[in-house]
């Protein structure tokens, strides 16, 4: 199914007669927020100009003022390497801000859906991480996201923490777009082959967030931490090969170890996520291969 058919009506009306707003989304131009705008065009989207995540109190005040039916936080500090040199700032955006949002939502008794990451785990082993597994972030970004999870749970309102991984789409900067650009310029590329995870299409995450937020309104007992990543699990190198094949680019991918591509922040070697618990919402892991095809089609149509 092409993403262009996904502009289905949201379960959240734009505004009720008593002034209560429908869905409020923190984020406007990021990958998931862009897809949410396709799926829920009547929602209120707050970009940096309307909601500064460096000011958690202001974010909470915005929720109290707008009195929405549900809130999705699709905004975050996503610069993994930059977080290593400015962890305090990353922790305000990824930790204190969602904690404040969650508390405001809890006080209003409305659902709060927060997107988190596989980086809260240390990436050891080869088994898929369960939501209940112990967390042990390798770096500042993971610690900042874990702080947000702790704050959301502490608010004790209707909530869902949705951990995902390897997000891609036709929007913003991501691995798929980088591979398409480089694959069109070069005959060969070297790509890390010893990190394994589930690439996840941003539109699939957006749909999952809407489904979860809607169900939490009537079933707050479904609150908790969930995993949502694309299937099947794959290495970055094999993900790159699939991208080249679908885009019909004659670029050869050569495997390299992570040690050959050092970065300021360590990446988890194992980003596999066990996603079965999402069946409580009627959700299954999306096939990233279909997502790659849809994203490539979107990019070509945008030319």
Question: Catalytic positions, please?
Answer: 141
Q: Which two tokens stand for residue 101?
A: 């949002």
What count of residues does the chain have?
303
DSSP string, 184-206: TT-SEEEEE-S-EE--EEHHHHH
Q: How far is CA 89 from CA 84, 145, 296, in A?
A: 10, 12, 34
Q: Pairing relation of β-strands 112-117 and 44-46?
A: unpaired
Q: How far is CA 204 from CA 56, 124, 130, 207, 220, in A?
A: 28, 27, 20, 5, 22
CA 301 to chain centre: 24
Whether the Cβ atoms of residue 235 and residue 196 lie closer than 8 Å to each other: yes
Beta-ladder partners of 129: 273
């Amino acid at each position: 199914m092409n993403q262009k058919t996904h502009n289905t009506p949201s379960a959240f009306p734009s505004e009720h007669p008593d002034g209560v707003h429908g869905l409020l989304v923190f984020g406007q131009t990021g990958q998931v927020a862009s897809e949410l705008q396709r799926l829920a065009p009547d929602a209120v989207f707050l970009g940096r100009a309307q909601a500064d995540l460096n000011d958690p109190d202001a974010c909470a005040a915005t929720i109290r003022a707008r009195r929405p039916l549900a809130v999705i936080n699709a905004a975050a500090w996503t610069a993994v390497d930059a977080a290593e040199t400015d962890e305090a700032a990353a922790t305000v955006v990824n930790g204190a801000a969602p904690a404040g949002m969650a508390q405001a939502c809890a006080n209003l008794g409305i659902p709060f859906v927060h997107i988190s990451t596989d980086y809260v785990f240390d990436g050891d082993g080869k088994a898929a991480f369960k939501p209940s597994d112990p967390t042990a972030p390798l770096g500042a970004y993971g610690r900042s996201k874990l702080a947000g999870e702790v704050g959301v749970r502490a608010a004790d309102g209707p909530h869902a923490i949705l951990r995902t991984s390897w997000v891609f789409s036709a929007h913003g900067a991501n691995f798929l777009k980088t591979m398409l650009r480089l694959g069109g310029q070069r005959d060969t590329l070297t790509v890390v082959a010893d990190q394994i995870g589930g690439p996840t299409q941003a539109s699939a995450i957006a749909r999952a967030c809407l489904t979860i937020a809607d169900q939490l309104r009537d079933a707050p007992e479904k609150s908790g931490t969930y995993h949502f990543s694309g299937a099947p699990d794959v290495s970055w190198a094999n993900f790159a090969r699939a991208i080249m094949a679908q885009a019909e680019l004659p670029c050869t991918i050569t495997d390299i170890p992570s040690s050959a591509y050092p970065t300021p922040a360590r990446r988890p070697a194992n980003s596999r996520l066990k996603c079965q618990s999402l069946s409580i919402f009627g959700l299954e892991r999306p096939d990233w291969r279909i997502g790659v095809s849809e994203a490539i089609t979107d990019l070509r149509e945008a030319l």
